[in-house]
Amino acid sequence: MAKPTVDYSLYLVTDSGLNHPSRTLLQSVEDSILGGVTLVQLREKDLDTPAFIELARKVHAVTKKHNVPLLINDNLEVALAIDAEGAHVGQDDISCVEARRLLGPNKILGISTGTIEEAQKALADGADYIGIGTCFMTQTKSPKRTLGPIGVRAILEALPAESEMKTVVIGGIKHDNTRRVVTHSAGAHGRIVDGIAVVTGIVGAQDAKVASEQLLSEFKIGHELATTKHQNNIRGTVQDGRASVEDVIKSFPQMLTTLREKSPLTHHISNYVVMNDTANATLALGGSPIMAPSAIEAEDLSKVVSSVVLNIGTLTDSFVDCMYEAGKHANAQSKPIVFDPVGAGATKLREETTRKILNAMHVDIIKGNAGEISTIAKIIGGGDKTETIAMRGVDSLGSGFSNPAAIVQAVARREGAVVAMTGITDYVSDGFRTVAIENGNAYQGRITGSGCMIASSIASFAAISPNDHFAAAVAGIVALNLAGEHAGTRADVHGPGTFRAAFIDEIANLTPQQMLNEARIKTVTV
């Protein structure tokens, strides 16, 4: 019999120990298939071979009835005895080459991989697909480390473009992170995971059919989004529906007016040093701040706020917990997140937290200085040729980039986020539109928190500009830079202390018309 063609979209991996007590494993398998599972792996780590064979025959009867292939985990004897459609092996199990020899050419063979080397070896050893994991923390297995979507992407990108190797992602996959895993792991060469492999999310669910339906639907949406993301990346031109930079600037007065009318609430998980100044700057601009660093109220807040700021300055464990909670719920509620990776490269903790945040959620806007953006460029790495070249500039030049606009654009495209890099000149890009902003005053660099206040301003604008975060980032920077210019030239400003007070005043005094008349913005062609 020829090798069956397999739809990997939703891959159920069983575990009797985790099966919901309200039903048998067999029922879980059948319910999940009715809910859309396209492939099943029977994974029984504690059964001896005769008992495994007995269970496998029963499961196979169910999967055959629905025309869904069944793979057996690790135990080739069982796979052969019941004539399963294939097998799945781990790195510590029987070798891939030996498994292929036993199974013959017409059975499906998959192997778990957690590194680029393992994935490349699987290709050479004749596997049909690789399970890439562990993606997120999971109780089903105790992983030594998790890859996150960024790590999954690195493995996808290491596979040759022409290879027919199929890929599924595994570990902690739930309906509420599926979409992000699929879009965010999409490689620069357009390879998207072919499926998600799930244990607890299905067998442990109250209703395996409903859980499977949700997972499959999220996978399909993610796949669609990832395809679009890739098309955007390769086209690399201004897409239909994106306002031109000129039109964005023309919309500034209306944006500030709307912000002041709506006074959107922004959840700040900020740091001890700047909490007061960022709250005051938000109020002065016309928004409403809520400074709430407790994870316990993050879900409730996500329902009432219009945007979120995650700032990793003065980092503590409880801030980190709150950022994860707030980020997860903000994504679920489609509330924009502004990520301010303060001092990202300064310590291991901050770098790791930055990586975890980028992995655990979709951040809509990243705002940082050159050093912080360079740390992010290093974390996300890789990419296509132009991106790699741009990113390499980070290593060779430290924070003094030879071509800052190219790096900002590359990071934006790679992350699918708007990136704002602040400095004497500020750069903003959504990967397609890239601008340099020349407004601002030197005093802004002489008080603490002026960058954090810009993140707050961006978040207020993002709240009223949900469909164009690029416009929000540019407007947010221009507004505070103009306030800086106005404050810095005031006769009553004699130093940083008086500037700080005058700055808050001038944020409040800023008029919509000034946003249009005084903005100094140049489009940069990278």
Going edge to edge, which strands form the sheet with 521-523? 288-291, 265-269, 307-311, 337-340, 365-368, 418-421, 426-429, 434-437, 521-523
- Non-local (6+) Cβ contacts of 225 within 8 A are 179, 182, 183
φ, ψ for residue 246, nearest 5 deg? -60, -45
393 binds, among Mg ion, ligand 3NM, none (CB under 5 to 8 A by kind): none
Please give the Cα distance from 439 to 272 (Å, whole number). 28
Q: In angstroms, what is the minimal distance from the CB of 217 to ligand 3NM?
A: 17
Q: Quick check: 28 binds ligand 3NM (CB under 6 A)?
A: no
Stretch that binds ligand 3NM, among 135-143, 346-354, 422-430, 456-464 (CB under 6 A): 135-143
Query: By C-beta, is 172 or 327 nearer to ligand 3NM?
Result: 172
Closest approach of Cβ 175 to ligand 3NM, in Å? Answer: 12
- Binding test (CB under 5 A) with Mg ion, winner from 38, 112, 353, 434: 112
Beta carbon of residue 279, minimum distance to ligand 3NM (angstroms, whole number): 39
| Span 96-125, contacts to ligand 3NM by CB under 6 A | 112
Q: Which of 28, 32, 138, 271 binds ligand 3NM (CB under 6 A)?
A: 138
Pick one of Mg ion, ligand 3NM, none as the site partner of residue 416 (Cβ within 5 to 8 A by kind): none
| Integer Cα distance of 339 and 312 in angstroms | 8
> Alpha carbon of 437 to those of 257, 360, 423, 480, 520: distances in Å?
21, 31, 10, 12, 6
Give yes or no for residue 13 binding ligand 3NM (CB under 6 A): yes
Rounded to a whole number, what is the distance in angstroms from the first to the last CA of the chain?
Answer: 54
Site string for ligand 3NM, 162-201 (x = CB under 6 A): --------xxxx------------------------xxxx
Q: Which of 369, 303, 307, 311 lies closest to 339 in space, CA to CA?
A: 311
User: Least CB distance from residue 139 to ligand 3NM, whole Å?
Assistant: 7
Residue with Cβ nearer Mg ion (169 or 309): 169
Interface with Mg ion, residue 75, by CB under 5 A: no
Q: Which does 172 bind (CB under 5 to 8 A by kind): Mg ion, ligand 3NM, none?
A: ligand 3NM
Please give the residue whose beta carbon sits closest to Mg ion in the complex: 112
Instruction: Give the H/E segment covering residue 118.
Output: helix 116-124
Cα–Cα distance for residue pair 143/110, rounded to 1 Å: 19
487: three-class secondary structure by DSSP: helix
Q: Considering the rule CB under 6 A, would residue 133 count as an interface residue with ligand 3NM?
A: yes
Q: Is 452 a catalytic residue?
A: yes
Nearer Cβ to ligand 3NM (45/494): 45
Q: Are the C-beta atoms of 113 and 142 separated by less than 8 Å?
A: no
In the bound state with ligand 3NM, the residue whose beta carbon lies nearer, of 131 and 393, is: 131
- Rounded to an integer, what distance in angstroms lies between the CA atom of residue 461 and that of residue 287? 9
* DSSP state letters, 417-479: SEEEE-SSSEEEESSS-EEEE----GGGGGSTTHHHHHHHHHHHHHHH-TT-HHHHHHHHHHH
Q: Are 509 and 489 in contact (CB under 8 A)?
A: no
**DSSP codes, 266-289:** EEEE--TTTHHHHHHHHHHHT-EE
Part in contact with ligand 3NM (CB under 6 A); list of ranges 130-138, 160-168, 334-342, 513-521: 130-138
Exactly one of 57, 141, 242, 378 binds ligand 3NM (CB under 6 A); that residue is 141
* Burial group, residue 106, by CB count within 10 angstroms (0-12, 13-18, 19+): exposed
Judged by CB under 5 A, which stretch of 43-51, 84-92, 207-215, 376-384 contacts Mg ion? 84-92
How far apart are CB 191 and ligand 3NM at their closest, in Å?
19
Name the minimum Å distance from CB 18 to ligand 3NM.
7
- Residues 301-360 interacting with ligand 3NM (rule: CB under 6 A): none
Contact 429, 418 (CB under 8 A): yes
Least distance to Mg ion, CB of residue 112, Å: 3
User: CA of 414: how far to CAs of 104, 357, 411, 452, 471, in Å?
Assistant: 40, 16, 5, 24, 19
- From the list 96, 135, 322, 452, the catalytic residue is 452
Applying CB under 6 A, among 35, 131, 148, 393 the residue interacting with ligand 3NM is 131
Q: Is 205 in the site for ligand 3NM (CB under 6 A)?
A: no
CB of 185 to ligand 3NM, least distance (A): 14
The 233-252 site mask, x for binding Mg ion (CB under 5 A), equals: --------------------
Taking the least distance from each CB to ligand 3NM, the nearer of 189 and 356 is 356
**How far apart, in whole angstroms, are the C-alpha atoms of residue 68 and residue 90?**
22
Separation in Å, CA 135 to CA 10, 142, 348, 464: 16, 12, 21, 34
Q: Which of 493, 461, 463, 501 has its CA nearest to residue 477?
A: 461
For the purposes of burial, counting CB atoms within 10 Å of the CB of 399, is it exposed (0-12), middle (13-18) or buried (19 or more)?
middle
Compare residues 112 and 409 and give the one whose CB is closer to Mg ion.
Answer: 112
**Smallest distance, Å, CB 128 to ligand 3NM?**
16
Q: Which residues are catalytic?
A: 452
Residues that bind ligand 3NM (CB under 6 A): 13, 112, 131, 133-134, 138, 140-141, 170-173, 198-201
Residues that bind Mg ion (CB under 5 A): 90, 112
